[in-house]
Amino acid sequence: MNTEQAARRHQQLSAELHRHGRLYHSFDRPEISDADYDRLFRELLELEQAFPQLATADSPSQRVGAPPLEKFPSVRHGLPMLSLENAANDEEIGEFEARIQRFLGQSDALEYVCEPKLDGVAVELVYQAGRLTVGSTRGDGQTGEQITENLRTIAAIPLLLQEPCPELLEVRGEVYMDLAAFQALNREREEEGLPVFANPRNAAAGSLRQLDSTITARRPLQFFAYGIGRISTPLPDSHRQLLEQLRQWGLRVNLEETRLAANLSELLANFHDLQLRRDQLPYEIDGMVVKVNSLALQSELGTKTRTPRWAVACKFPPRQATTRVEDIVLQVGRTGAITPVAQLRPVEVSGVTVSRASLHNWDEIARLDVRIGDTVVVERAGDVIPDVVRVLKDQRSGQERMVPLPETCPACGGPVVKLDGEVVPRCQELSCPARLRESLKHFVARRAMDIDGLGERTLEVLLEKGLIRSVADLYSLRREDLLACPRQGEKSVDKLLKAIAGSKSRPLNRLLFALGIRHVGEHLAKVLADQFGSLEALAAADRDALLAIHEVGPQVADSVLDFFRKARNRTILDELQQSGVIPQSAVSRNTGPWSGRSFVFTGSLERLTRGQAQELVEKFGGRAAGSVSKKTDYVIAGADAGSKLDKARQLNLPILSEEDFLRMVTEQEQS
């Protein structure tokens, strides 16, 4: 391929990847499968490796981070980034409306837009001629820190806008972290002996303010746009229309949770309703932002020094309660990390009974000065497991007991070491039963090998009976062993054995994640799987080969080398291989009985998630595509299938039910 051909193909690929990125993140309407996206992406990377000049700043490849900075340059916002006045209850919200009506000299009802107040970090994104050129934090409102490279790593932030778009557009919005991602990150950090983030906001802020943007790239950050600064084209009439317009340009907007209110009473109803639904949202919110919908009225109302007159933040009360620390127990994780957990006298915190709180590590115990017997204030930040925020020291009786750093492992009595720079001590015993239990829990978890039916209690019994000594033993469990476990009947045992057998064909990235190699989380597992293609190739890689990967630093490289050097791990890997846990890599995917066949899933499936359906197709070498075309071999239609099914009928394609598809899978599995 010559330079010109490469440039042409690169442009095609970039345009497609940008479009599919927007469809996935901003419109929630993907047209191609993740595997197809990955294939296009790999082709782009290969082109850029051969022709490095093609890797320009707005290439879809530029989300992995750039070389570290010394410090963040500052950047002046085109228009000040304002903050909001707060209203704590219905009365204060009423006063907000009364103020507006006084200012406007009228008492007509006003229309409002109500948006969840996301608890993250406010940022500004400047798009010039549709390209993301500068991204910054709010800073003092006039001047912020330029964090363009970090923002570029967030997949939900488009690098290019959808045309036609304004010559200049300054977008404002919130970078945040979903609760599940926040909890997973903290669990990983706890295991690593690193300080944990107190809440999703701190996690988002800490991840964004990294001088090394490759660290930001590894953090699961999200983004919602909620407003604008300057814009070079005329504005629509209302804020709601502006939000819709932003979505058209490809920005991710939280329209699903945005409500209109025709008057104050509807506004208050929205506020109460959102507060009730707060725990069901996948992200933490601390209130509801209310904005006057008419942009003409917004402009008439104008702003005070730091806040607009046309908006207010209706804050939820904090979810706090007071209770007693009855005990502080020590938990041993799969890497041996020992974490202190407070057992609390059960207390209700806004509708949920809580009885434990992680204290994370001994630095945190010292910072809070928390002791057994203390009365403490606990707060729930979206999570059911709360944090201890404060000790009420004036309630001490003098009988409270401190919890010292353990000298031996509380689970196995083995030696404990606390390394410099780490905040938790670690059990050093590889065969520690608590470590083994936690490794098994991790191995079978949904995001790892996804073995359904192997709950904590069953694992406990299997461990007690000595039936499993490592993750590899899971694959030699016999029917009669399982039947001898309490609460296991014929049916559940058969289901479990099927689930164990089914897990043998998980892709390489899942197996790598499941093995629990230190510092290799879900994201890096995928990077390593994509790069090496097989377990053998990864096991044979030397330090240089590992370090040659952009996202792999010395810590990860050493941890991978160390993992494959350990004799115990090599034995486990051999056993896994013998049991047929043969990881399929993305690279070796296109062989198998369904090779060359393409499947499209549409409508809602009852027994499989889309991800599971796709994995099954790929397991036999097929391809799960996002859209129906003449080349589609099978369309699998679930309930409420729409336009894809219509198209399949027009094209006379074979249409299968979910049951038909599962039958095909069973046939393959048995052949």
State the amino acid at position 262 in one-letter form. Answer: A
Q: Which segment (77-85, 202-210, 329-337, 396-404) binds ligand IVH by CB under 6 A?
A: 77-85
Rounded to a whole number of angstroms, the minimum distance from the CB of residue 314 to ligand IVH is 11
Report yes or no: 266 and 114 within 8 Å, Cβ to Cβ. Answer: no
Interaction of residue 117 with ligand IVH, rule CB under 6 A: yes
Residue 290 interacts with ligand IVH (CB under 6 A): yes or no? no
Question: For 572, what's the count of Cα atoms within 13 Å in the CB-facing half-sphere?
Answer: 25
Cβ closest to ligand IVH, residue 97 vs residue 115? 115
CA–CA dist 669, 501 (Å, integer): 10
Which region, judged by CB under 6 A, interacts with ligand IVH, from 82-90, 542-550, 569-577, 630-638?
82-90
Which residue stretch of 49-57, 116-124, 200-208, 659-667 sits at the interface with ligand IVH (rule: CB under 6 A)?
Answer: 116-124
If the CB atoms of residues 127 and 310 are measured against ligand IVH, the closer one turns out to be 310
**Nearest alpha-carbon partner for 73 in 139, 145, 152:** 145
For residue 447, give Cα distances in angstroms to 200, 277, 515, 517, 665.
21, 26, 12, 15, 22
Q: Shortest approach of ligand IVH to residue 172 CB, angstroms?
A: 7
Closer CB to ligand IVH, 84 or 251, in the complex:
84
Segment contacting ligand IVH (CB under 6 A): 79-87, 337-345, 370-378, 426-434? Answer: 79-87
Closer to ligand IVH by Cβ: residue 317 or 415: 317
Q: Residue count at the site for ligand IVH (CB under 6 A)?
A: 14
Q: Which of 159, 313, 541, 549: binder of ligand IVH (CB under 6 A)?
A: 313
Reading the block at residue 117, the tokens are 């107040």
Residue 122 binding ligand IVH, by CB under 6 A: yes
Using the rule CB under 6 A, is 533 a contact of ligand IVH? no
Q: Count other Cβ atoms within 10 Å, centred on residue 353.
A: 10
Which residue, judged by CB position, is nearest to ligand IVH in the bound state? Answer: 122
Quick one: which of 17, 54, 84, 154 contacts ligand IVH (CB under 6 A)? 84
- Identify which range of 112-120, 232-240, 330-338, 372-380 contacts ligand IVH by CB under 6 A: 112-120
226 in contact with ligand IVH (CB under 6 A)? yes
Positions in 169-208 near ligand IVH (CB under 6 A): 174
Q: Is residue 83 close enough to count as binding ligand IVH by CB under 6 A?
A: yes
Cα–Cα separations (whole angstroms), residue 189 to 29, 219, 416, 422, 521: 33, 12, 19, 11, 11
Strands 168-177 and 221-231: antiparallel
Q: Which of 48, 115, 124, 284 binds ligand IVH (CB under 6 A)?
A: 115
* Cβ nearer to ligand IVH, comparing 84 with 645: 84
Please list the alpha-helical segments (H only) found in 114-238.
148-152, 179-192, 200-208, 213-218
Cβ contact 383:196 at 8 Å: no
Instruction: Give the one residue of 23, 118, 321, 357 binding ligand IVH; rule: CB under 6 A.
Output: 118
Among the listed ranges 267-275, 306-314, 418-426, 611-619, the one in contact with ligand IVH (CB under 6 A) is 306-314
315 is catalytic: no
The token pair that represents 323 in the structure block: 């209770």
* Alpha helical stretches, state H, 291-448: 295-301, 362-368, 433-444
Minimum Å distance from CB 171 to ligand IVH? Answer: 12
Among 93, 147, 181, 289, binds ligand IVH (CB under 6 A): 289
**Which residue in 496, 508, 510 sits closest to 445, CA to CA?**
510
Rounded least distance, CB 222 to ligand IVH, Å = 13
How near is the Cβ of 32 to ligand IVH at its closest, in Å?
A: 31
Cβ proximity to ligand IVH, 116 vs 638, nearer residue: 116
Minimum CB distance to ligand IVH smaller for 44 or for 253:
253
CB nearer to ligand IVH: give 221 or 313: 313
Whichever of 139 and 583 has its CB closer to ligand IVH, that residue is 139
> Which amino acid is located at 660 in the chain?
D
Residue type, 99: R
Rounded to the nearest whole angstrom, what is the least distance from the CB of residue 115 to ligand IVH in the complex?
4
- Asked if 284 interacts with ligand IVH (CB under 6 A), we say no
Give, as ranges, the residues between 632 and 661 that touch ligand IVH (CB under 6 A). Answer: none
C-beta closer to ligand IVH: residue 286 or 374: 286
Buried residues in 512-544 as b, exposed as e (16+ CB within 10 A): bbbbbbbbbbbebbbbbbbbbbbbeebbebeee
37, 148, 245, 546 from 31: Cα distances, Å: 10, 29, 21, 34
Stretch that binds ligand IVH, among 113-121, 159-167, 340-348, 506-514 (CB under 6 A): 113-121
Which CB, 84 or 515, lies closer to ligand IVH? 84
Residue 227 near ligand IVH by CB under 6 A: yes
- Say which residues have a Cβ less than 8 Å from residue 459's Cβ, sequence separation at least 6: 437, 440, 441, 444, 468
In angstroms, what is the minimal distance from the CB of 655 to ligand IVH?
Answer: 43
Instruction: Please choose, from the candidates 102, 100, 124, the residue with its C-alpha nearest in 3D space to the C-alpha of residue 112.
Output: 100
Q: Annotate 276-325 with three-state secondary structure.
A: HHHHHCCCCEEEEEEEECEHHHHHHHCECCCCECCEEEEECCCCEEEEEE
Provide the minimum distance between the beta carbon of 116 and ligand IVH in the complex, in angstroms, as a whole number: 7
Q: In what order do the strands lie in the sheet with 387-391?
A: 352-358, 338-349, 320-332, 375-379, 387-391
Residue 352, beta-bridge partner list = 349
In whole angstroms, the minimum distance from the beta carbon of 102 to ligand IVH comes to 20
Write down the catalytic residue from 117, 291, 619, 644: 117
Cβ pair 100, 93 in contact under 8 A: no
420 CB neighbour count, 10 Å cutoff? 4
For 298: left if phi > 0, alpha if psi spans -120 to 50, otherwise beta; the answer is alpha
DSSP H or E stretch at residue 356:
strand 352-358
**Residues annotated catalytic, as ranges:** 117
- Residues at the site binding ligand IVH, with contacts judged by CB under 6 A: 82-84, 115, 117-118, 122, 174, 226-227, 289, 308, 311, 313
